[in-house]
Structure 1
Amino acid sequence: MELELLFSLVFLLLVRISGASSGSRNITSMFTLGDSYIDTGNFVIMAAPVIPVWIDKPPYGETFFGRPSGRPSDGRVIIDFIAEELGLPFLPASLANSSDDVSRGVNFAVGGATAIDVGFFERNSLAPFKLLNNSLDVQLAWFEKLRPSLCNTTEDSRGCFSKSLFIVGEFGVNDYNFIWMANKTEGEVRSYVPKVVKTIALAVESSSSSSDRPAELIDDGAAYVVVPGNPPTGCSPTVLTLRRSPDAADYDRVSCLRGVNDVARHHNALLRAAVGGLRARHPRATIIFADFYEPIRKILENSGQFGVVAGDVLKACCGAGGGAYNWNSSAVCGMPGVAACRDPSAYVSWDGLHFTEAVNHYVAKGWLHGPYADPPILRAIHH
């Protein structure tokens, strides 16, 4: 009887080990581009010599790392959970120049990054300050520079990245936020959506701006590409504070700003259609649309089910000023005297702009297992 029990326990253990490693057998590395939602330290490295930075100060990182880690959250960001699921290490920030083994993945995402090149915003007076040069095309150039160290130049790079997962985004939130901050109307902001979406779609096809190397990211490398849409930025404590309106009609039933979210939804609709076009042109690649909007709305609209106090659903956990959003531009998270809430997992927003680790985990699960990805990542890589 004891022997049978021992065999049963060993069998169950083997099943669990097999299940945990199945993803890593199909995906051996992950490369990510994006903005602050998935940044793991690049913004701190890039911005600290130029402007004041607060995300490298406590209480950032308190939930998981016990210290600031360069991530704009109380703990892990979305790609950390995806890496864990795939049996990969946390991705090092590309600008860190660390001794980490880059063959298993690198994160090129930088806080504040735009899809459109920064020169466009400066030339059209759409940026209220000097922007860091960290847009999508710049991140792709960083990837290109690293490529020789990832692939043997004598081998077909298709084979080099055939077991790599690429995440291109989220992009677009900063593009639109800069235009909103330039006091443009909803119609004017909406008019930029096709340009943003086209920029993202072109990046998915090509990791080089050179016209003589078309469709490189897919045709010459990536077999699996995830393209996330925009979250409902009209529910962000920062946006809600900066664009506060006296007109009740400007707010939806969760008290988010309708116009800002309408632009996000329009972006997502066009991006989803663009992904469909990419699939038709590149049937050998697996291109996944990751929904960033619906999981956040799900939590906001069903706060009780997620342990979020209804009255705090639109408040920042770490912030100052109290009120409906607990966000103050002159006393942001990380500044001296600005405190975090006791339980970040009971909040949606960590610092007014970014999500708590609990929310990041929920989004990652939805992308990995469904229902917030088409197709779910794990289903796609095991197909």
Structure 2
Amino acid sequence: MKLVFLLLLSLPCLGLGNTQISSIFSFGNSYTDTGNLLALGSMNQTQGPVVSDFPPYGMNFFHEPTGRFCDGRLIIDFIAQAFNLPLLPPYLAHNGSYQNGANFAVSGTTGLDLSFFVERNASNPFFLNTTLDVQLEWFMELKPQLCTSFEDCRIFFRKSLFIVGEFGINDFSVAFMAGKTLAEVRSYVPYLVKTIEKAVEKLIKEGALTIVVSENVPFGCLPSVLSLYPSSNEKDYDPQTGCLIKYNELSLYQNKLLRKAVTWLRWRYPHVRLIIGEYYRPMTEFVKYPKQFGFTETPLQVCCGGGGQYNFNIIQGCGMPGVNACQNPSTYVYWDGPHLTEAAYHYIADGWLRGPYADLPILTAVTDISQSQQMWSNM
């Protein structure tokens, strides 16, 4: 059956009584970062240049680099626009008001802390101390600027949307770069999911009512992974997608545990709307049925890259001198190797907002919260 999707250009501001979404707070990595890594580079002169600060990054919509690892907007941008909110400012590079939200995501971030990898001899000198726990600390630092009492915060955060972004890509990458086996990396997954679960629970205790918990991507479908960890055995590749099976199974394992954790949190906090934002299903569908989404190029090919089987070259990547982008990124699934194009993010964002890429679409969750609170206010 042909898949039909409505591209979300902009939804009108949602009139949901006292629960209209008026702010968004986001935690994550390069799938969500809107400029925090650039700010870190400016604050830490020992860090080399960030490629997302150079063309052709940002060639669409912004028409200049913004720190986003994309040709244009990310999922978080489309969601902000859906609620008629300003695009989320990066927390480390913004001197203005945060009344409409803040983005704490930093490219290269892991969910697990540095100590976890050090204890397992799996760290590297490029590790960023911007993990999920650190981002939560930044949120707590910001909190006094948003509200001054428990009741004020409860009122403020019930009108907020929280997004705990994709964690896993960098946790896996750090471990594999350190030479860890697939079995060893798999053993890290329960710790990663527990870290995400604790972070979500902390936000709930701070008053959050609507939270998106993002699952992991199909790691074995990333052109960067396919290029860095190729196999000479054809049986290691999914015949339908061309993705590496064992790495996708690792992502599926994480997503299975994550759904169990969310189920437990829903049971413990029934008043909270917990949404699982899917990456695995849409990204594998893009690869299986590219033309049904308007992707006319080979789906595992990178739009902006330095050559090779998948047009990905870690030595000569997007943003480096002499590396050019394709003429029409909207016909590609992947932008630069691990990251998607604006067109692909657009489909996923719409799937999170309306379905089918969320087990509780964001718009449904917001409406449910509105009706529930309206009932209590009338009692």
Alignment of 1:248 onto 2:245: no
Aligned residues: 354
1:127-176 CA-partner distances (Å, limit 9, x unpaired): 33231110000000000000000002374421221111000111121111
Residue 47 of structure 1 and its aligned partner are, at CA, apart by 3.2
Alignment of 1:269 onto 2:256: yes
Q: 2:336 aligns with which of 331, 347, 351?
A: 351
Residue 285 of structure 1 and its aligned partner are, at CA, apart by 1.0
In structure 1, what is the Cα distance between the partners aligned to 2:266 and 2:119?
Answer: 34
- What's the TM-score, normalizing by structure 1? 0.89
In the other structure, the counterpart of 1:259 is: 246
Alignment of 1:21 onto 2:14: yes
In structure 2, what is the Cα distance between the partners aligned to 1:18 and 1:296?
Answer: 24
Alignment identity in percent?
Answer: 49
Alignment of 1:128 onto 2:133: no
In structure 1, what is the Cα distance between the partners aligned to 2:11 and 2:337?
Answer: 40
Alignment of 1:36 onto 2:37: no
In structure 1, what is the Cα distance between the partners aligned to 2:93 and 2:329?
Answer: 28
In structure 1, what is the Cα distance between the partners aligned to 2:266 and 2:41?
Answer: 37
Helix, strand or coil at the partner of 1:112: coil
In the other structure, the counterpart of 2:180 is: 184
Shift in CA distance, 154/304, structure 1 to aligned 2, threshold 3 Å: closer
- What's the TM-score, normalizing by structure 2? 0.90
Alignment of 1:53 onto 2:50: yes
Helix, strand or coil at the partner of 1:277: helix
In structure 2, what is the Cα distance between the partners aligned to 1:154 and 1:377?
Answer: 25
In structure 1, what is the Cα distance between the partners aligned to 2:116 and 2:127?
Answer: 11
In structure 1, what is the Cα distance between the partners aligned to 2:27 and 2:12?
Answer: 28
Query: Alpha carbon RMSD of aligned pairs, Å?
Result: 1.7
1:22-74 CA-partner distances (Å, limit 9, x unpaired): 36962111100000001000011113531231110000000110000111000
1:230-250 CA-partner distances (Å, limit 9, x unpaired): 111211111111101111111
Q: 2:87 aligns with which of 80, 90, 99?
A: 90
In the other structure, the counterpart of 1:362 is: 347
| CA contact 2:29–2:110 (8 Å) conserved in 1 | yes
| CA contact 1:47–1:132 (8 Å) conserved in 2 | no
Residue 121 of structure 1 and its aligned partner are, at CA, apart by 1.6
Which is worse superposed, 68-77 or 187-196?
A: 187-196
In structure 1, what is the Cα distance between the partners aligned to 2:293 and 2:169?
Answer: 25
Alignment of 1:336 onto 2:321: yes
| CA contact 2:11–2:82 (8 Å) conserved in 1 | no
Helix, strand or coil at the partner of 2:33: coil
| CA contact 1:60–1:67 (8 Å) conserved in 2 | yes
1:188-238 CA-partner distances (Å, limit 9, x unpaired): 2111110000000000011xxxxxxxxxx1133101111010111211111
| CA contact 2:12–2:84 (8 Å) conserved in 1 | no
In structure 2, what is the Cα distance between the partners aligned to 1:180 and 1:301?
Answer: 27
In the other structure, the counterpart of 1:10 is: none
Shift in CA distance, 138/67, structure 1 to aligned 2, threshold 3 Å: same
In structure 2, what is the Cα distance between the partners aligned to 1:130 and 1:364?
Answer: 30
Alignment of 1:314 onto 2:308: no
Q: 1:218 aligns with which of 175, 198, 204?
A: 204
Shift in CA distance, 154/194, structure 1 to aligned 2, threshold 3 Å: closer
In structure 2, what is the Cα distance between the partners aligned to 1:128 and 1:274?
Answer: 29
Q: 1:168 aligns with which of 164, 170, 175?
A: 164
Residue 288 of structure 1 and its aligned partner are, at CA, apart by 0.8
Which residues in structure 2 correspond to 1:59-70 (within 5 Å)?
Answer: 59-70=56-67
For structure 1, list consecutive stretches of 5 or more residues without a partner in the other structure.
1-16, 207-216
Shift in CA distance, 126/47, structure 1 to aligned 2, threshold 3 Å: farther
Counterpart code for 2:321: P
